[in-house]
A and B are shown apart, each in its own frame.
Chain A
Amino acid sequence: MSDYNFAYLDEQTKRMIRRAILKGLAVPGYQVPFASREMPMPYGWGTGGVQVSAATLTPDDTLKVIDQGADDTTNAVSIRKFFEKTAGVETTEETEKASVIQTRHRIPEAELTEDQILVYQVPIPEPLRFLEPRETETRKMHALQEYGLMHVKLYEDISQHGAIATAYAYPVKVEGRYVMDPSPIPKFDNPKMEMAAIQLFGAGREQRIYAVPPYTQVVSLDFEDYPFEASKAEHACDLCGSEHSYLDEVILDDAGNRMFVCSDTDYCRSRREAGHSGRLSEEAA
């Protein structure tokens, strides 16, 4: 153990955050204001997610942290180390073994269970923000369910690009009431949001927490004649051969060679261990 209080934050702060979380769960999709604390990391690096995780963790939990699906990128590594140091909890890279998963911009490929909590890092919680800059007005629009403006954005997409070009942070309607920004996850992940695990969203700079309880209806907004599509790159993973996972495109050289790999590193590794292989398996090995 360390000289820090368990999970860095003091107990009063964790209590305050838990209250916000409970309120968020009671009103799915509603943005609950909370007194976000200064964290030992810059805004935009997951200060909201970290506070929610800190308030959620117990000493028995096993934590997994992913950044764009990967366990080994800077953001994921440093947040994992942070909680190893301040909370002394077990950490893992395996989705199935984790009880709390903090994520930036992805939902793991493996299906989550009722015993798990998924914590999202959110940069801008307000889905209407880029359409309506006034906070007083957006709150009123949420209160009165005036969501026509959200469709204006989708209309603009179709008129300019011939299809709904919004590929991430794709707006959803939760339980037929609040329109919510699912954080910048790819729209490929949107259908997964109707899941068994609890989903918590923390925005540190904007001081908002919101939540989606298990088995809650989450509908991606669309038009009758331009229905929502969960899109991904039309390839298979070059390492594990998966055709159903969300892929990252990696430029290999300046001669136009590229590869597609699963953005969920744990999923890709477990598939390779199970004997699956992709187009570039030998070269990568």
Chain B
Amino acid sequence: MTPLLQVKNVAKMYGARIGCTDVSFDLYPGEVMGIVGESGSGKSTLLNSLAGHLTPDRGEVIFDTRTEGPVDTVTMSEPERRMLSRTDWAFVHQHARDGLRMSVSAGGNIGERLMAVGDRHYGSIRERAADWLGRVEISESRIDDRPSAFSGGMQQRLQIARNLVTGPRLVFMDEPTGGLDVSVQARLLDLLRGLVREMGLSAIIVTHDLAVVRLLADRLMVMKDGHVVENGLTDQVLDDPQHAYTQLLVSSVLQV
């Protein structure tokens, strides 16, 4: 089986300082990869480098495209990369406000990607927007409300709907549950888990919340100071941490 995403020796420097370096892994279709680490460990830099928001200084990010097979997205042309990022890729921001158009209604937010890839039928766009609102547990009657009238958890769910409407194959998530209270987090995680399984999505989830990766991720990568210090199956890494930093991380979780 061809990996959906092959990452080879990706490095991103900020001047002399290291953002992240020597990162390599393969992600297979339907697999969810978690990236954990403390603040400043380079996990967001890595995610942005993979998603094309930052240009890596070294390395290859090879994505298995539908039409041409595996292509290095770092060297592909910008129009192709932008096309990819609104069809086969999705990016869920930590702050829903970064990922949503706050002055556009919920329906318009979900419809944007559809219209961006050429859908010109209002009725069908609206129907799919309503369908997706339902899937992320937002009442259809809110379709014409702006996201500013939504609660934090609803905004995050709307952002997810907006990203998944074009049926992407790879989703990048940057702390999708950050800033939400625990009960809302739990429901969001439940929803995400359902969607990932149902749509067969591959995902890369950056978080510092070990509970999130325990629930969602098949595999786990632990980062510290821009390096990957440990990786493996999620349960294996969390239950039997080998690296000193991972041991510290796992033991730092409060047991209620």
| Chains A and B belong together in one complex | yes
A151 — which chain B residues lie within 8 A by C-beta? 115, 120
Are the C-beta atoms of A159 and B107 separated by less than 8 Å? Answer: yes
A250 — which chain B residues lie within 8 A by C-beta? none
Are the C-beta atoms of B116 and A144 separated by less than 8 Å? Answer: no
Among the listed B79, B117, B144, which residue makes an inter-chain contact with A148, where contact means beta carbons less than 8 Å apart?
Answer: B117
The answer to whether A160 and B144 touch (CB under 8 A), given A152-B104, A155-B125, A223-B122, is yes
A146 — which chain B residues lie within 8 A by C-beta? 82, 116
B121 — which chain A residues lie within 8 A by C-beta? 223-225
Question: How far apart sit A224 and B126, CA to CA, in the bound complex (Å)?
Answer: 13
Question: How far apart sit A160 and B126, CA to CA, in the bound complex (Å)?
Answer: 13
Are the C-beta atoms of A152 and B101 separated by less than 8 Å? Answer: yes
**Does A215 reach chain B (CB closer than 8 Å)?**
no
The answer to whether A149 and B112 touch (CB under 8 A), given A155-B122, A159-B105, A223-B121, is yes
Q: How far is the CB of B255 from chain A (nearest CB, A)?
A: 47
Question: How far apart sit A160 and B107, CA to CA, in the bound complex (Å)?
Answer: 11
Nearest B residue to A160, CB-CB? B144
| B-facing residues in A48-80 (Cβ within 8 Å) | none
A225 — which chain B residues lie within 8 A by C-beta? 121-123
The answer to whether A156 and B105 touch (CB under 8 A), given A144-B79, A223-B122, is yes
Write out, one digit per residue, whether chain A residues 219-244 have a CB within 8 A of any chain B CB (1) or not (0).
00011111000000000000000000
B125 — which chain A residues lie within 8 A by C-beta? 155
Nearest B residue to A223, CB-CB? B122
Q: How far is the CB of B137 from chain A (nearest CB, A)?
A: 21
**Does B34 reach chain A (CB closer than 8 Å)?**
no
B79 — which chain A residues lie within 8 A by C-beta? 144
| A-facing residues in B39-65 (Cβ within 8 Å) | none
Q: How large is the interface on B (under 10, 10 to 19, 20 to 34, 35 or more residues)?
A: 20 to 34
Q: How far is the CB of A185 from chain B (nearest CB, A)?
A: 24
Write out, one digit per residue, whether chain A residues 154-174 have a CB within 8 A of any chain B CB (1) or not (0).
011011100000000000000
**Does B78 reach chain A (CB closer than 8 Å)?**
yes
Are the C-beta atoms of B104 and A224 separated by less than 8 Å? Answer: no
Question: How far apart sit A223 and B118, CA to CA, in the bound complex (Å)?
Answer: 11
Q: How far is the CB of A20 from chain B (nearest CB, A)?
A: 26
Are the C-beta atoms of A156 and B104 separated by less than 8 Å? Answer: yes
Among the listed B112, B120, B126, which residue makes an inter-chain contact with A159, where contact means beta carbons less than 8 Å apart?
Answer: B126
Question: How far apart sit A159 and B112, CA to CA, in the bound complex (Å)?
Answer: 14
Are the C-beta atoms of B111 and A152 separated by less than 8 Å? Answer: yes
B108 — which chain A residues lie within 8 A by C-beta? 152, 155-156, 159
| A-facing residues in B202-220 (Cβ within 8 Å) | none
The answer to whether A152 and B120 touch (CB under 8 A), given A144-B79, A159-B126, is no
| B-facing residues in A203-259 (Cβ within 8 Å) | 222-226
Q: How far is the CB of A257 from chain B (nearest CB, A)?
A: 37
Are the C-beta atoms of B120 and A223 separated by less than 8 Å? Answer: yes
Q: How far is the CB of A222 from chain B (nearest CB, A)?
A: 8
Nearest A residue to B106, CB-CB? A159
Question: How far apart sit A40 and B79, CA to CA, in the bound complex (Å)?
Answer: 43
B113 — which chain A residues lie within 8 A by C-beta? 148
Are the C-beta atoms of B116 and A148 separated by less than 8 Å? Answer: yes
A158 — which chain B residues lie within 8 A by C-beta? 122
Write out, one digit per residue, whether chain B residues 73-116 have a CB within 8 A of any chain A CB (1) or not (0).
00000110010000000000000000001001101100111011
| A-facing residues in B117-161 (Cβ within 8 Å) | 117-118, 120-123, 125-126, 143-144
Are the C-beta atoms of A155 and B82 separated by less than 8 Å? Answer: no
Q: How far is the CB of A45 from chain B (nearest CB, A)?
A: 30
Are the C-beta atoms of B122 and A226 separated by less than 8 Å? Answer: yes
Additional A-B contact list (6), CB under 8 Å, known A155-B125, A156-B104? A148-B118, A155-B107, A155-B115, A156-B108, A160-B144, A223-B121
26 A–B contacts, CB within 8 A, in A order? A144-B79, A144-B82, A148-B112, A148-B113, A148-B115, A148-B117, A148-B118, A152-B112, A152-B115, A155-B107, A155-B108, A155-B111, A155-B115, A155-B125, A156-B104, A156-B108, A158-B122, A159-B105, A159-B108, A159-B126, A159-B143, A160-B105, A224-B120, A224-B121, A225-B121, A226-B122
Ranked nearest first, the 6 interchain pairs of A and B with the lowest CB-CB distance are A148-B116, A151-B115, A148-B115, A223-B122, A224-B121, A144-B79
